[in-house]
Amino acid sequence: MKNYIKIISAFVVVFFFQNCTAQKTDPQIVNNLVSSDEFTFHAEKANPMNYDVINVVNSIPNAPQLRTFQISGENYGIEIKKGVMEVTLPYFGRSFNTTYGGSDTSYRFTSKDYAVTKTQSKKGNWVYKIKPNDVKNVSDINIEIFKNGRALTSIRSNDRQPISYDGYISENEKTKEKEKL
């Protein structure tokens, strides 16, 4: 009887891990999105690099100990179209150059002048290195896209500590104007 319990528990563990690593998007769709250079990165978690922020959040009584922050509510992400990149991401960390009463605590900008370098790793993951030329405080954005549609984005800034985001990519949403035509 104990052998049956061990076998059943082994199947449950294997099934659980298989569901955790299940693909979010078909690899062919991911390749089509990457080859068209038009996709949207949807952020699900933020990973601040500053341990001061993590320590402050973890010092709240009765709060769970966190190293990553679940992002919910608004649609946070990066939308890349032909010639336009729109970034809407929250920021958790230390800013070195702020203005009093400023509302620029997150990454919210549209760039029309940016350079993109796209490479593929040995494992088949795509790596985008984006350097916006018309945004003064962001030095570069790196997006690593995995074959299953998951993605990891990191942003380096001139006046803030770096931060990374976990999420996935999808096709850009069609605008209402295009649907009317």
Tell me the pLDDT tens digit for each residue of 38-70: 999 999 998 887 666 666 666 666 666 666 778
Mean pLDDT of 128-151: 92
pLDDT computed for residue 22 by the predictor:
45
Pairing mode of beta strands 77-81, 69-70: unpaired
Q: Are 147 and 26 in contact (CB under 8 A)?
A: no
Indicate the pTM of the whole model: 0.75
What pLDDT is recorded for position 142? 95
Spatial CA neighbour of 86 closest among 104, 117, 106, 111: 111
CA distance 130 to 114: 7
Q: How confident is the model at residue 176 (pLDDT cuts 50, 70, 90)?
A: very low
Domains and CATH numbers, the chain: 26-174 (2.40.128.410)
Q: Is 93 helix (H, G, I), strand (E, B) or coil?
A: coil
